Amino acid sequence: MIETHNLSKNYNAKNAVNNVTLTIQEGEIFGFLGANGAGKTTTVKMLTGMIFPTSGSAHVAGFDVVQRGIEVKKRIGYVPENGALFESLTGWEYLQFTADLHHLDPHVSLKRIEEFLTLFGLWDERNGRIQQYSKGMKQKILIAAALIHNPQVLFLDEPLNGLDANAALVFKELLKKLSGQKKTVFFTSHVLDVVEKLCTRIVVIHEGIIIADGTAAQIAQSTGQATLEEAFHTLTGVRDARESAQDFLEALGRE
Amino acid sequence: MIQKIFSFYGIDFRQWKTLTRLSFQLANRQVPASSFHAQSTRTNNALIFSLIMYFALGLMMLAIVFALPDLFWSSFVIYSYVLLMIGFLMLVEFGSIIVAPDDYNILSYQPVSSRTYFAAKTTFALVYVLLYTAVLGLPSSIAYGFKNVDGHTSLAIHCTVALAALIGFFITGIGIALAMIILYTSALRFVRYRRLKNILSYVQAMLSFLIMGSYALLPSYLEKLSARLPAQKPWWIFLLPPSWTSTLISLASGTVTFSTLAAGFLSLAAPVLLIPLAASKISLSYAENLSAALNETEKKEKDKTGDAKKTTWRLKRFEDRAIITLIRAQFKRDMRFRFSILAIIPMTILYGWMGLRGKGAMFNPFHPAWRSLASSSLLYLAIIIFPVSLVEAVSRSESYLASWIFFSTPVDKVRLTLSIKDFLYKFFIVPYIVCLGIMFSFFFDTMLHVVMHTAILLLISRLFLQLFFILRPQLPFSLPQHVGDRVTVLGSLAFFLPLIMLIGLMILIFFVYTNLVYYALSFTLLTSLTLLMDALLNQRVKKKMSRLEFAG
C-alpha cells in the first residue's frame, strides 16, 4: 500500500531524510518513531504529496506521489502535526468544505458529518467557530476531516495531541477496526506506550536514516532492552536521561 | 456546460466552487477574539466600512471629472488615482486576497490541483478588485455620462462614454491587480518574506501619505492644472498605462486617431498579457515556497534573537519592564504595530504643511487668523487621533493568544494595563507633542506662547489617552488583528472628534489664552482633571481586570 525506494529530502546541505526504503502492507498499523528533527514529518509530507523528494521514489495506494499526486491525495486522509485549520469556519463548515474537496455525495457528506460530530461529542458546538474550540476539539475536527471520505490510507502525525482519555481510547479502537477493514495506518507519535500497544510494525528513524524495523518486541530484543521506550532511548538518545535530569536540577538550584 | 468548460481547462468545478466560497467566507468573517468577544459567525463590518470609504473617495473624484474639461486629461488623472488606490489595496491585502502561507498547510494534502486553486483564487481576487473598483469608479462613470462631450447631445454618445469610463475603471483595476501579483511574487525571489512585509509597511505609509495628500491638495490645484494641461498630448504620456484606458473614453466620444486606437488596444491587451504571468505565480506550490520562506525566516530570526544580548531595563516594577520588552519587540517585528505608530509622521507632515500653505502661516491660537484655522485644524485633529490610534495598536496583535501568560502568572494586571498608558504617554505622546512645539516655535511670536500651548496640548492629549483607556481598558496585545479595525474605530469617532477639537480650540482662543490668570486657572484645572482621571482609570481598570477571564 505504501512503498518508498531510496526516498531522500535535502534542505540546503542537510539531509532531512536519507535513502529511506519501506514497504507497508495493506491493513498494517505502522508506527514511525524518531526524536525531534529525525525526519518523521518530512517523510510524511513527502508521502502525502505536500513536498517533493529530492531523490528516490514513493508510491501510495499504487500511485506515484510525484507523478500522480492528486490520485494519491484522493485516497489518503491526513492528520497533520501542526493542526492548521481555517479557524474562522465553524466545525460543520470545515467538514463540509473537506467533503466537497473530496467530491463526496452531498447526502452522504451530510449524514457523515452529523454522525462524526455526534460521535466526537461536537454536535452542540457545530456552529461555533473553530477559533473558539479547545485543542482537543480542534484535533477531533482534524481527525473527522481525515476520515470523512473513507480513505484507504491514513497518515496520522501525533493524532492523540489534545484528545481526552475517552476520545483517545475510542480513536485507538477505531484504528484497529480500520486496520481490520484492510486500511493502512501510518502512525507517528512520541507516545511510545501507545505505539507499542497499537502498531503491528515499528520503524525508528534517526537523523534521516532508518535504524530499526520490526515489532516492538523485536526492536527491544535487538537492543537488549526490556521495553520499546528503553530501546528507543538506546537507539536515539544522545545523553543519559538521568544525567540530563540531574543537570536540570542543578540549574534550578543555581541563583 | 460550465462544468465542461472548467473540465476542458483542467479545473475541478466543485472544488473551484468550494474554494471560492471559502475565500469569501474567510474574507467576510472576523476571527473572534479570545475570551473577550466570544461569538459565532458574523460579517466583517470593516469590509463594508472600507467599501463606503472607497465610495466616498469615488465621490471626491467627481471634482476632477468636472474641473478638467478635457475628457482625456480628466480620465487620465482619475485612472491614475484608481491605479494607486487598487495597487495600495493589493499591497495591504495580498496575504488574504491572493496567496496566504496557511493555504499550503491546510490544502496541500487535499486533492486540489494548482490549476483549480489558481482559478478559485483568481475568481475571488477579481471579484474583490472589481467590487472596490466599482464603488470607486461608479460616481465618475455616471458623471462622464452627463459631461459635455465636444458639444454632442446624443444620449447614445453620453451612455457610450459612461460605459467606456466604467470599462476603463475595471480594466485599470484588473490590470494593476495582476501587475501587483507579479511584482509581489517576483520580489519574494530576491527579498525574504518578512523583510518584504517590512519594506511594504513603509511603502504603504508612503502611498497613504501620497494618496491622502493628493486628495487634500488636488481641489485647490485643479483650476491651475486645468490651465496648464496641453491640448496636444505629449508622446511620453502614452507610455503611462492610465493614458491607455483614458483613450477608451476618447474613442467612445468619437475621437478616433491612430494613437487613440493603438492606446485603446494596449489597454485591453495589457491585462490579457499579464494573466499567464500572474497564473504562474498563484499556485499551491507557490504557497509552499511562501510557507517555507516564512518558516526559514522565523528560524533565522529566532537564532539571531538567541545570540543577542538582552537589554537590562532598570525599572523597579516587573510590569513596567514587561511592557517595555513587549512593545519594543512588537515594534521591531510586528509590521502592523509599527505602521500604526509611524503613520502619525506623514499625517503630521501633511497636516502641518496644509496648515502652512495659503498665507504661509500656521494657526496661532494666541493671535487667531481665522483663514488658517480650517487647514490647521487637521493638525489638532491628529493630536486627538494619535492616542486613540496608539491604544488600538497596543491592544491588538497577531499573537494575541499569547496573552494567556497574563492569566497564568502572578502579574498585576491592573498595573500592567496602567503601565501601557504610562509608556505610551512618556515614549510616544510626549516626544510627539514636543516635536510639534518645536514646529510652533517657528510660527508663534514668543517662546512663552510655544511653551504655554505645548503644555496645554500635553495635558489635553493625556486626558484623551486616559479617556480611551477608561472606555476600553485592555491587556496588551490581547485582541486579534482584523483588516480595517483601526479605520473602523477612527471612522466611528470621525463625527465626534472634529467637534470636540473645534470646541476645545474655541475654549483655548476665547478663554484660556486671553490672559495669564485664565491660563493658570485652566492649567490647574486640566492638571487636576488628569489626576482625577488617573484615579477613575485606576478604579475602572481594577473593576474590569477582576472580571476578565482568558478563554482563548
pLDDT tens, position by position, B190-241: 776 667 766 776 776 666 666 666 666 666 666 667 677 777 777 888 888 8
pLDDT over threshold 60, residue B493: yes
Least Cα separation, residue A127 to chain B (angstroms): 7
From the list A48, A87, A131, which residue is nearest B109 (CB)?
A48
Does B285 share its domain with B324?
A: no
Please indicate whether, in this complex, the C-beta atoms of A101 and B110 are within 8 angstroms of each other. Answer: yes
Quick one: pLDDT at residue B64? 82
Contacts of B31 in chain A (CB under 8 A): 87-88, 129, 131
Does A106 share its domain with A219?
A: no
Is residue B415 domain-resident? yes
Quick one: pLDDT at residue A64? 92
Least Cα separation, residue B182 to chain A (angstroms): 24
Percentage of residues in chain B having pLDDT higher than 70: 72
Per the structure, how many domains does chain B have? 2
Quick one: pLDDT at residue A29? 92
- Domain around B246: 61-293
From the list A86, A103, A132, which residue is nearest B38 (CB)?
A132
pLDDT over threshold 90, residue B44: no
Quick one: pLDDT at residue B207? 67
Residue A34 in 3-state DSSP? coil
Quick one: pLDDT at residue B530? 93
Does A137 share its domain with A157?
A: no
Least Cα separation, residue A197 to chain B (angstroms): 28
In this predicted model, which residue has the larger pLDDT, A137 or B40?
A: A137
Instruction: Tell me which chain A residue has its CA closest to the CA of residue B23.
Output: A86
Write out the H or E segment, with its range, that includes residue B232.
none
Is residue A250 domain-resident? no
Does A3 share its domain with A111?
A: no
Quick one: pLDDT at residue B127? 87
Question: What are the CB-based long-range contacts (under 8 Å, 24+) for A175-180?
Answer: A175/A29, A176/A29, A178/A154, A179/A27, A179/A28, A179/A29, A180/A27
From the list B102, B111, B288, which residue is nearest A101 (CB)?
B111
The band of B357, judged by pLDDT with boundaries at 50, 70 and 90, is low
The band of B462, judged by pLDDT with boundaries at 50, 70 and 90, is very high
pLDDT over threshold 90, residue B178: no
> Average pLDDT, stretch B107-116?
82
The band of B32, judged by pLDDT with boundaries at 50, 70 and 90, is very low
Does A61 share its domain with A19?
A: yes
Does B321 share its domain with B258?
A: no
From the list A82, A89, A132, which residue is nearest B25 (CB)?
A89
Per the structure, how many domains does chain A have? 2
Please indicate whether, in this complex, the C-beta atoms of A129 and B41 are within 8 angstroms of each other. Answer: yes
Does A190 share its domain with A201?
A: yes
Contacts of B113 in chain A (CB under 8 A): 70
pLDDT tens digits for B137-171?
A: 899 888 888 877 666 667 788 888 889 889 999 99
Is residue A168 domain-resident? no
Q: Examine the fold and report which residue of B293, B328, B345 is the final residue of a domain before the chain moves on.
A: B293
Mean pLDDT of chain B: 76
Quick one: pLDDT at residue A142? 92
Highest mean pLDDT, choosing among B253-262, B337-346, B528-537: B528-537
Does A2 share its domain with A40?
A: yes
Q: Residue B153 region, left (φ>0) first, then alpha (ψ -120 to 50), else beta?
A: alpha
* pTM assigned to the model: 0.67
Give one DSSP letter per residue of B75-108, joined into a string: HHHHHHHHHHHHHHHHHHHHHHHT--HHHHHHHT
Is residue B22 domain-resident? no
Please indicate whether, in this complex, the C-beta atoms of B31 and A90 are within 8 angstroms of each other. Answer: no
In the chain, the amino acid numbered A54 is T
Does A206 share its domain with A136?
A: no
Does A88 share its domain with A213?
A: no
B-interface mutation test, from A63, A101, A103, most B Cβ less than 10 A away: A101
Instruction: Tell me which chain A residue has its CA closest to the CA of residue B100.
Output: A86
Instruction: Tell me the three cell numbers of residue B265.
Output: 488596444
Question: Which among B26, B477, B401, B397 has a CA at the least distance from the CA of A134?
Answer: B401
- Domain around A185: 1-75+152-162+178-224
Please indicate whether, in this complex, the C-beta atoms of A50 and B288 are within 8 angstroms of each other. Answer: yes
Q: In what order do the strands lie in the sheet with A14-24?
A: A14-24, A2-11, A55-60, A63-64
The residues with which A59 forms a beta bridge, in sequence order, are A3, A64
Q: CA A192 to CA A173: how far, in whole Å?
A: 17
Instruction: Tell me the three cell numbers of residue A136.
Output: 482537543
Say how many C-beta atoms besides its own lie within 10 A of residue B173's C-beta: 29
Quick one: pLDDT at residue A184? 93
B-interface mutation test, from A79, A85, A88, A90, most B Cβ less than 10 A away: A88
pLDDT over threshold 60, residue A56: yes
pLDDT over threshold 50, residue B34: no
pLDDT over threshold 70, residue A152: yes
Tell whether B40 is within 8 A of chain A (Cβ).
yes
Does A71 share its domain with A156?
A: yes
In this predicted model, which residue has the larger pLDDT, B35 or B85?
A: B85
